[in-house]
Amino acid sequence: MDHSRDPCPYVALSDFGGAFCMGAIGGAVWHGIKGFRNSPYGERRIGALTAIKARAPVLGGNFGVWGGLFSTVRSIWPSDSPIPFTQWLSLTDYQYDCAIKGIRKTEDPWNAIGAGFLTGGSLAVRGGVKAARNSAIMCAVFLAVIEGVGIGFQRMMADNTKLELPPLPPSEQKALA
């Protein structure tokens, strides 16, 4: 278990903030280049800054929602509500990663893959069952790749830190023979 992280209720805020920053910084780079390229000569810097101010916070917010949903599990809507399930699901804030850890009582890559599946499906549920299914599968595959790369790096780094015994000095009896 990773005890270096905060408890589950606080992880949601941390992951939301980290995902927002990642999306905002990536969005600033992406939309800055796009605004620069699509502006007329002589106004490219202004076009880049305008595009950054208009679109980078939006992309940061989208990433933040994904990160918050990925790691959040508290329902804000009662389960006996007369509202249909799809609307209930869009009004619910889940801490999928922490929920899966709590249900399975273990911490492994399958938690992240399952949380990605549920997050992708939740974010696309308003587009219908087919869109939710496709988004859920894509998010699960994406997180499986990320987890696989992480495991590969861990194994690669573990090989570098393996201690090897120095060669034994030749024994005198073997040297005389």
Three-state DSSP string of 105-130:
CCCCHHHHHHHHHHHHHHHCHHHCHH
Domain finish residue from 70, 102, 120:
70
Query: Residues 143, 78: one domain?
Result: yes
Q: Supply 89's token pair.
A: 């699901």
Q: Supply 103's token pair.
A: 């249900």
Query: Residues 65, 129: one domain?
Result: no
Query: Residues 12, 80: one domain?
Result: no
Amino acid 13: pLDDT? 73
Query: Residues 92, 53: one domain?
Result: no
**Domain count of the fold of the chain:** 2
**Burial letters 73-99, b for 16+ CB under 10 A, else e:** beeeeeeeeeeeeeeebeebebbbbbb
Q: What is the chain's pLDDT, residue by residue, as a tens digit (177 residues)?
A: 454 555 666 666 777 788 888 889 999 999 999 999 999 999 999 999 999 999 999 988 888 887 777 765 333 334 444 444 443 333 333 457 677 777 777 878 888 888 888 888 888 888 999 999 999 999 899 889 988 998 888 888 877 776 777 777 777 556 555
Query: Residues 90, 121: one domain?
Result: yes
Query: Residues 62, 81: one domain?
Result: no
Query: Residues 137, 117: one domain?
Result: yes
Tell me the residue range of the domain where 7 lies.
1-70
Helix axes 96-104, 8-37, angle to 10 degrees: 140
Residue by residue, DSSP assigns 58-114 as HHHHHHHHHHHHHHB-B--S-TT-SS-HHHHHHT-B-BHHHHHHHHHT--SHHHHHH
Q: Residues 81, 89: contact at Cβ < 8 Å?
A: no
